[in-house]
Amino acid sequence: MRQAGSYSGILMSGKTGPHLLPLARIKKIMKKSGDGVKMISGESPIVFSKACEMFIGELTQRSWMVTMQGKRRTLNKEDVASAVMATDLFDFLLNLVSEDTFKSS
Amino acid sequence: MVDEQERLLPIANVGRIMKQILPPSAKVSKEAKQTMQECATEFISFVTGEASDKCRKENRKTVNGDDICWALGALGFDNHADAIVRYLHKFRVAERDKAAQNKASCSRNSQDKEEEESSQDQQPHQQADVPSNSKLQVLEFSH
């Protein structure tokens, strides 16, 4: 049974469930994302709550694979950076993770 | 420092979501959680920007859930998540079946239930681990 994609089908699945992320904070972040963002419908933060959960899950899984390749049991920030660099979809995060790496050193 | 934290998703929530995905014995450094906080926050900005552009082009003032869903698909998140979501789904279905079986056997025999729980606990974990191993090969090519 193929619906819209796992991310884009969030609204249709109706399974937004209990929220793991605070909706007010999500709304605040959305408003700060650009000048063009003026009004946000009530359901948008709810969709993001689910989408972020999935995004964090995916990035975490990929980072953990790097951790395992290094035969370690502690996921560190370099593992996250590696996962970002290895995944085209996460290109929008490249500046962010390389900044992070500079900050500590 | 307070301002800094308010522009990001809360680290406790982010950490909790990470723990849900990882095996119970896994540990996550504080810096990794902070990085994930930043990444998830950037994810929201990135997708919202795309959704907001669409609204502007269509002369609409309000960004709604459909716009967000559209932007997620347009930016490529669907294709990527499919495989991972399928595995997670299998895991959750297994959990649900287990819970349903427990409920059913509750009405019959509580002793049997305990035995079922301990043996079924093994299976979902194995299912979650197997996909990770196959994904390992996908990551290697970039190095």
ipTM: 0.90
Residues of A in contact with B69 (CB under 8 A): 4, 7-12, 47
In chain A, the residue whose alpha carbon lies closest to the alpha carbon of B54 is A36
- Phi then psi dihedrals of residue A34, to 5 deg: 175, 165
- Type of residue numbered B125: H
Concatenated DSSP letters of A68-86: HHTT-SEE-HHHHHHHHHH
Name every chain B residue with its beta carbon within 8 A of the beta carbon of A65.
132, 135-136, 139
Best mutation target among A15, A44, A68, A91 (most B Cβ atoms within 10 Å) is A44
Q: CA separation (Å) from A9 to A81, B67, B109?
A: 28, 11, 41
Q: What is the pTM of this model?
A: 0.72
From chain A, pick out residues whose CB is under 8 angstroms from the CB of B47.
48, 51
From first to last of its 143 residues, what are the pLDDT tens digits of chain B? 557 788 999 999 999 999 999 999 999 999 999 999 999 999 999 999 999 999 999 999 999 988 999 999 999 998 765 655 565 566 567 667 878 888 888 776 655 544 444 444 444 443 343 344 334 333 333 33
Q: What angle, 0 to 180 degrees and rounded to 10, lies between the N-to-C axes of helices A44-69 and B65-74? A: 30
Give the integer Cα–Cα distance in Å for B12 and B26.
16
